[in-house]
A and B are shown apart, each in its own frame.
Chain A
């Protein structure tokens, strides 16, 4: 079975500082990895994905994520946080051999950027 862990329910960071939201995963084959963001009372928006290739993936709104196979991690990063980045962030994974239904989400991390 595949799984995703987001070890921090809440991350606080000061505006202008770098931010990291952590994600670790478990799948039996090669992973497809995703990050989504959710603003209050809205659906999830796609940020970025890792399928294959370069371990550093760049996405929307200045976010990037680093795939680390040995540590089975896919942490979300941004060099300089904005107050408007405050939202709920979800990591998701599926095995590249699996069907589209087999997308497993983490429990989410609430990011708060303090002015």
Chain B
């Protein structure tokens, strides 16, 4: 089975902090994704990577950046966290269907 692991289940950060969300997959998939999930809005794509050091903006990239130095690891970075970035963040890989991590619930205070 594909395993996608996000480093934290819950995080609380202060406004202005730099925040790193880490995601690791164990199935050698090329494609990795970061989504945020908000009630009533479904999943919105933040960034996507189709190979090491390659990245592509999704639908809502503002305020975020990403890093993919190794194939198995895809990091989401909030350069300066703001309260409107309080959300559930989901990492996924995709080969046919998508496989998701357990999610990180981030609260920015």
Contact = CB atoms under 8 A, between A and B. Distances in A.
Interface of A: 9, 34, 36, 41-46, 49, 90, 92, 99-101, 103, 105-108
Given A41-B103, A101-B50, A49 B42 contact: no
A34 B94 CA distance: 12
Interface of B: 4, 6, 9, 31, 33, 40-43, 45, 48, 50, 56, 58, 90, 92, 94-103, 105
B42 A101 contact: no
Given A44-B100, A107-B42, 11 more contacts: A42-B102, A44-B98, A46-B97, A90-B43, A92-B98, A101-B31, A101-B45, A101-B56, A101-B58, A101-B94, A105-B43
19 contacts: A36-B98, A36-B100, A41-B9, A41-B105, A43-B4, A43-B90, A43-B101, A43-B102, A45-B100, A46-B99, A90-B42, A100-B94, A100-B95, A101-B31, A101-B45, A101-B56, A101-B94, A105-B43, A108-B40
